[in-house]
Structure 1
């Protein structure tokens, strides 16, 4: 089709090529009259970490985007909607064998992927020529005439766009500049949202080949090869689940020091550590946990941070998406899914036929009106869930109350559908007009 057949409505610059940025770029590329460019600071698209999980509502988005077949090929098993285990919760902080105290099950269960493969599935659908590497954003300037945004990059280059989307992670420069400017313009107190908060949680991560596990005396393989496991104990817990079509087991352990939450953290967030340090942290835990951790050969150590729930995601023609908007703790496996929800809804709103360059601020506010309350609630709930898993909540080790409380933490998955959320945003934007997009 000739280039002039689709005159450009507006230009979108996406800063950050992680899950949120790539999902947004792929979703926006469906609209031929929107110019989309992705600016990534690194020299290639890459993800840190081994595993990623999503739930049924995120899978629905992948279906709506026409990507389900590709993602099905790299999932731990092809999702078919049948009931599955979310997590198997087990009390494990004792030398003798632990026991299950709650089991979460629902349609699709926990859909798991190798993180690099998950990112690549989006990369494979990215249009050619829109990705720009080695482009670290230093600052942006919204021109007074409202016609464009000027972006300055670390290599000295300048680029221009009509709408800037910060997909630049928990340490987001876009968030920093947005909040500092709003603070200077007369909204004091916003600077406290700029820097991520240390949670007081140290996490250890590692990958294990499923072939490393032998059958027990009853002929059973390790539980973590069969279903997502949550081994719980006081101020610590261990998560393990299979990825890469069952070839690998992803393990992440958590050690929480509540008294250190919100204190300054000095040093690198991610470092290497010894196997001994990891094993010592879970000394005298049940054999199933010890067997798991003994098979991790090269653990990494992470200082987990989050951001406080933001009061807004949008300023004029600039918006935040993904971890830049709601970097959260991983206790509900919700970070990637929430980023995808942001990206999908924002793409549908920007792509709506009534949106013009002049109405971009209204479109972004419609996105914010739907996504901010949902994502902030999941952000808070993720921290609360971690407290429950480690017996630090009001329920302690009263398992008769704790189990149902944990179950209720997953209600956000069912409270709305992606289609309903998009329609709500479109209705706000178009004064009740029905969306033709879905």
Structure 2
């Protein structure tokens, strides 16, 4: 359906993926009166009951996206990482010796290495599944459509909507598509092309064992203060971190172990692990850690950690399609900032799309121009910082798991890297979301002004290594050349697949159009 047949002064966005970033992005767009539909390939919400934490920068962005999201955190049981102890008024991260026994009179003694202060309720932890349940409650009931596995996105050109094609042979239309579909993103593959290595996930040679245990068990192993505050226990080729969740009634525990072997391409990245395997890896560690491991379930999830470090994306958008969160910059979890970085993306996209909607109502820009320009600014605003996180997360893991921690003669060398850990941590926390928004809006205004004046021969619609452009004739509505009937019929798919048949019957639903089964094409 042509955009002229739809509401000219409205925007309809399709989000691919119903994870944390997808839901929060939807909340931000809806708050700004932009129509949204989320398409999720699963049959329902799928997050495990493990923990996730939000740093000061992420929390500031959440409040700007939608105060309702901040309330969802509280209703879902978010707790400050130090608040459960009742002793600390500020939330802090603590790095501590998890390996050595430094006191002959007290084998459980652990040396504190580093403490970083995030301020009052500066870092809040919550169970992932509880957060998803609360986030979906703040959206209109028909926002999410499940069992929709994306197979293609078709861009039919200026004046036409994008068409999303799904594995069940249905379609949907939207003015823009935001891929929040994770590290295995189908949307990302359509942006960079099927033959590109950009965005190929690679194994980090680290496996994680995430779980939650009752706080009572954590207290028995760690003591009350350690159990109810964030601690990261460092040692050779491994580290263990924990923090309170679920209003302080549960303790989230994640074990990270290095694996020098390659991960087979046909092997699932999520498996069921066994406590005995972890116990063997930590048999020489401090007794406190061995006691904690005894409290873990006999069977627990194990994840092979992949990221986009080796093959980063050169750009996050192509025309009216972009990616956010892990789909754009999947990182290892050692900074605990992957979701927070996606929340920064969500704020940037929400504000820019709202600005695009305003420009549609006040200028002669087409939807294609307004959206493409917004996504270009989004790419330029977000790519450098988020790619830095991917790199820094790898580096932080190396520092956490230095073999020098176990060598009395080299431990001092390992301790000399603590300042680097501190600096990298504060670079994440001290980010100013308001400044990001201000700069993005200024950059967007510059592009819009040039588009209106027609003073730029080519306006780039793809960030980074840009390879697609809006031509000068498209920049100025009065000079736009009308396409021929053949050109109107022809359509270009982002993945070079077949276009939907012209005249396929469209079955409209609320906001985004969900299209019926594709007809058989003959001849």
Q: TM-score, normalised by structure 2?
A: 0.74
Q: Give the Cα separation in 2 of the matches to 1:213 and 1:329.
A: 25
How has the CA–CA distance of structure 1 residues 176 and 432 changed in structure 2, closer, same or farther, with 3 Å as cutoff? closer
Alignment correspondent of 1:367: 378
2:299 matches 1:319: no
Q: Give the Cα separation in 2 of the matches to 1:401 and 1:412.
A: 19
Count of aligned pairs? 414
Alignment correspondent of 2:512: none
The counterpart of 1:89, out of the listed 95, 106, 110, is: 95
Alignment correspondent of 1:420: 435
Q: Give the Cα separation in 2 of the matches to 1:386 and 1:152.
A: 39
Alignment correspondent of 1:230: 232
2:51 matches 1:51: yes
Whether contact under 8 Å (1:92, 1:286) holds in the other structure is yes
How has the CA–CA distance of structure 1 residues 167 and 396 changed in structure 2, closer, same or farther, with 3 Å as cutoff? farther
**Bigger shift: residues 67-76 or 38-47:** 67-76
2:299 matches 1:286: no
CA RMSD, 1 decimal? 2.6
For residue 288 of structure 2, give the secondary structure of its aligned residue in structure 1. Answer: helix
Whether contact under 8 Å (2:82, 2:90) holds in the other structure is no
Alignment correspondent of 1:381: 392
For residue 115 of structure 2, give the secondary structure of its aligned residue in structure 1. Answer: strand
The counterpart of 1:193, out of the listed 198, 202, 215, is: 198
Q: Give the Cα separation in 1 of the matches to 2:20 and 2:95.
A: 28
How has the CA–CA distance of structure 1 residues 396 and 29 changed in structure 2, closer, same or farther, with 3 Å as cutoff? farther
How has the CA–CA distance of structure 1 residues 313 and 432 changed in structure 2, closer, same or farther, with 3 Å as cutoff? closer
Contiguous gaps of at least 5 residues in structure 2 = 1-6, 102-106, 361-365, 449-523
Whether contact under 8 Å (2:214, 2:251) holds in the other structure is yes
Matches within 5 A, 1:101-112: 101-107=113-119, 108-112=121-125
Whether contact under 8 Å (1:388, 1:396) holds in the other structure is no
Contiguous gaps of at least 5 residues in structure 1 = 1-5, 184-190, 434-438
Q: TM-score, normalised by structure 1?
A: 0.88
Whether contact under 8 Å (2:236, 2:402) holds in the other structure is yes
Matches within 5 A, 1:319-358: 319-352=322-355, 353-354=358-359, 357-358=367-368
Alignment correspondent of 2:11: 10
Cα deviation digits, residues 175-227 of structure 1 (max 9, x gap): 1122126x6xxxxxxx22232101111111221101224558xxx83444221
Matches within 5 A, 1:22-421: 22-32=23-33, 34-48=34-48, 50-64=50-64, 65-67=66-68, 68-73=70-75, 74-77=77-80, 84-94=90-100, 96-97=107-108, 98-107=110-119, 108-145=121-158, 147-180=160-193, 191-213=196-218, 221-257=223-259, 259-260=260-261, 264-297=264-297, 298-308=299-309, 309-352=312-355, 353-354=358-359, 357-358=367-368, 359-391=370-402, 397-421=412-436
Q: Give the Cα separation in 2 of the matches to 1:171 and 1:11.
A: 25
